[in-house]
Structure 1
């Protein structure tokens, strides 16, 4: 069996087949690893390769131009792995990174509830001078945050530390009724929380109704206080 390169040069081989990962694996005992590497790194040769047995064409491989590796097997057999450009690990990684970036951009359009369901897609907060727009969502210490005020990040303006810039997006596991109030997290004083008029909240085993005068039912506001500290202003204890 022989492999005929695109420039008509030939190499005696034992086999050639496509592997599960998409690479073309060519096994041969005809040359040294150094010579094989030189042969298969020549893209002029590898652009098109034909496998023949006697004079019969068994298969033609095109565009497997990229040399990937050489593996030595028992019996002095060497396996040369070739792949298409789109199957190179670095190209696959680039495509995957691009897909993640697109998904992260699209995820910014989701509602807070939808965002919580796909939290892992959101980028981690960075202190390295990133310009964050209002309502931009990030995650930090496994908590999903939303930008309250547009700013350029710096190390001492981290979510949970700068409440005027970031607010945590609460998981509405409770309905906000008197019987099933929304639990206020302990981090409320640093991360903030979005309270909704007409909903009930639980804090330290007590229930509070958010009933701010001047707000309509369903209207929300971000506060950095637990309900018990704002009784008479924003809340009433039930």
Structure 2
């Protein structure tokens, strides 16, 4: 069911209010509602650190304050934008466990994030986790919780 413009506007208002409390919506909750975030504006819009935008169906978070320009779109200006990655776990409020995606230094998995990789469910034991679940040497950063 599609939202009306009024409903969308009301929800955006709630998001703006919530942004000021405890850092706003978690990345994982935000990824499931990326359509509620404004589209990237390349025409000289001033973006603040932590501000989120939708671009080509993907949610991005501003990681460096700047004034936009056409060649600084989120999918190409990696020093300005981080793709927001979906994850499951108690902190996210997401009961579904999505497939693992290789993060970059700008969008690592937080402690408690749950992802699927190679038929198993893994939980991150540390913040800022960019390691591959199940890889040799990652026993201290990922825990197999498939049967937990």
Q: Same fold per TM (> 0.5)?
A: yes
Paired residue secondary structure (1:129): coil
Q: Is the 8 A contact 2:125 2:143 kept in 1?
A: no
| Greater gyration radius | 1
**Whole-Å Cα distance in 1 between the matches of residues 80 and 68 of structure 2?**
10
| Cα offset, 1:153, TM superposition | 1.9
**Whole-Å Cα distance in 2 between the matches of residues 122 and 162 of structure 1?**
19
Pick the structure with more strand per residue: 1
Q: 1:210 aligns with which of 106, 116, 124?
A: 124
CA change 1:158–1:117 in 2 (3 A) is: same
Q: Which residue pairs with 2:63 in the alignment?
A: 148
| Cα offset, 1:116, TM superposition | 4.0
Q: Is the 8 A contact 1:116 1:171 kept in 2?
A: yes
Identify the structure with bigger relative contact order (alpha carbons < 8 Å, sequence gap 6+).
Answer: 2
Q: Which residue pairs with 1:107 in the alignment?
A: 15
Q: 1:227 aligns with which of 132, 139, 147?
A: 132
Pick the structure with more helix per residue: 1
Q: Which residue pairs with 2:99 in the alignment?
A: 183
Q: Is the 8 A contact 2:89 2:112 kept in 1?
A: no
| Cα offset, 1:136, TM superposition | 0.8
Instruction: Provide the aligned length of Structure 1 versus Structure 2.
Output: 126
Paired residue secondary structure (1:115): helix
**Whole-Å Cα distance in 1 between the matches of residues 68 and 119 of structure 2?**
37
1:18-56 Cα shifts (integer Å, max 9, x gaps):
xxxxxxxxxxxxxxxxxxxxxxxxxxxxxxxxxxxxxxx
In the alignment, structure 1 residue 201 sits paired with structure 2 residue 107: no
| Cα offset, 1:111, TM superposition | 0.9
Using the size of structure 1 for normalisation, the TM-score is 0.39
CA change 1:150–1:203 in 2 (3 A) is: farther
What runs of 5+ residues in structure 1 fail to find an aligned partner? 1-95, 213-219
Paired residue secondary structure (2:85): coil
Using the size of structure 2 for normalisation, the TM-score is 0.57
Paired residue secondary structure (2:70): coil
Q: Which residue pairs with 2:75 in the alignment?
A: 160
| Cα offset, 1:168, TM superposition | 2.7
What runs of 5+ residues in structure 2 fail to find an aligned partner? 91-95
